[in-house]
Chain A
């Protein structure tokens, strides 16, 4: 039957419903700040929003957005290729290019459309894509549309990447390597220096998705490639407006002039309505703020280190390094569901991540930290986990 393939998901959702757990259908009824809200009727700390710099609720971004809506209307009602661009779209792209020190930038309506569209378009039939095994769903969706031969390398494993490039022989020069800056589920940072060195050795191309690292890493917040000192090796760099910049949308920048030609071949750019003026305006304002206020990044890392260390000291199985994504890795599904529910009850709203969204068979309680979290909020999150440990509801490394 047509719908048989949905049975596993239907059973899982029914199980959650029977336990009165709503990790995937949580509704925010009121926002009290960028880090506090009323969710499912409860006043909770928002600890799973990816709002790394807290700019979604910044008064200056809201004002810019309001002004643009009044001046330009609520939507563009069409594609930039068909309807044309608003001047704000072009200014946003110029400002992104200037931020990265390159000539070329494309703004997309969503981050998913940016990475999916670029990964579907840059390489094609006869080419090879070598992607990190833990790549985001948008990357997998894109490469499947590309027509290129798709080969995975082990997650963040430069030796495996090098081995697979060697096996390709001359085809290595027709190969696009895809990696991310910070990986969204576990918060680990890609070994971009090693990856870039291998790319250079084999004459391949490199695409880096900085969705979770833009505004987070690098001297000026350009991301993991800047932090690793390998920006010259990156052929295409994608990112999103929906995390550090607190809006919706995505982008790709490149040092290659060809990006302007590629723009007119990307289906997720051509066949969708362009970014709304209010979103363009708040994104531009957020980019300005991010550039002028590096203290936001300092505060973000202060909070990230505090939460990571706090959970690690409790003996919880967190990721390999501190980052603004702090994931608690659990093998037991019921334990993960129960803990998510207990955290909600304690006023802490985190993400429950289940396979295949998690990179293995594990279940994750995924926390994301914001510069806007107060120290007291971070300590409340740690205390909520501590209560889970003391109640024997969660396994620790100490057991």
Chain B
């Protein structure tokens, strides 16, 4: 079973592949404000996470996700 650190590690790898930022990524990094993902890029990002962990992420929880850490915690909840 993956944990927070696994989720974060995978998300860092996706973001690095996007070449959108030189920021040092951490769980406090914000998807839109810091990385600059557009709404479409956010959806594509989520889809990659969904496919990696074979889950579907309800749209309802997206308003609660600002940082990568928020996202990792939600993934933990969904998989628990």
Contacts and interface: CB of A to CB of B under 8 A. Distances in A.
B52 interface: no
Contacts of B55: 167
B59 A152 contact: yes
B24 interface: no
A137 B43 CA distance: 17
A360 interface: yes
A258 to B, nearest CB: 25
B54 interface: yes
A54 to B, nearest CB: 37
Interface size, A (range): 10 to 19
Q: How large is the interface on B (under 10, 10 to 19, 20 to 34, 35 or more residues)?
A: 10 to 19
B56 A150 contact: no
B40 A149 contact: no
Contact of B56 (A133, A167, A360): A167
Contacts of B38: 361
A392 to B, nearest CB: 29
Contact of B59 (A151, A168, A361): A151
A151 B56 contact: yes
Nearest to B40: A361
B40 A150 contact: no
Interface string A124-137: 00001000010000
Interface of B: 38-40, 43, 54-60
Interface of A: 128, 133, 149-152, 164, 167-168, 356, 360-361
22 contacts: A128-B58, A133-B43, A149-B58, A149-B60, A150-B58, A150-B59, A150-B60, A151-B56, A151-B57, A151-B58, A151-B59, A152-B43, A152-B59, A164-B56, A167-B54, A167-B55, A167-B56, A168-B56, A356-B39, A360-B40, A361-B38, A361-B40
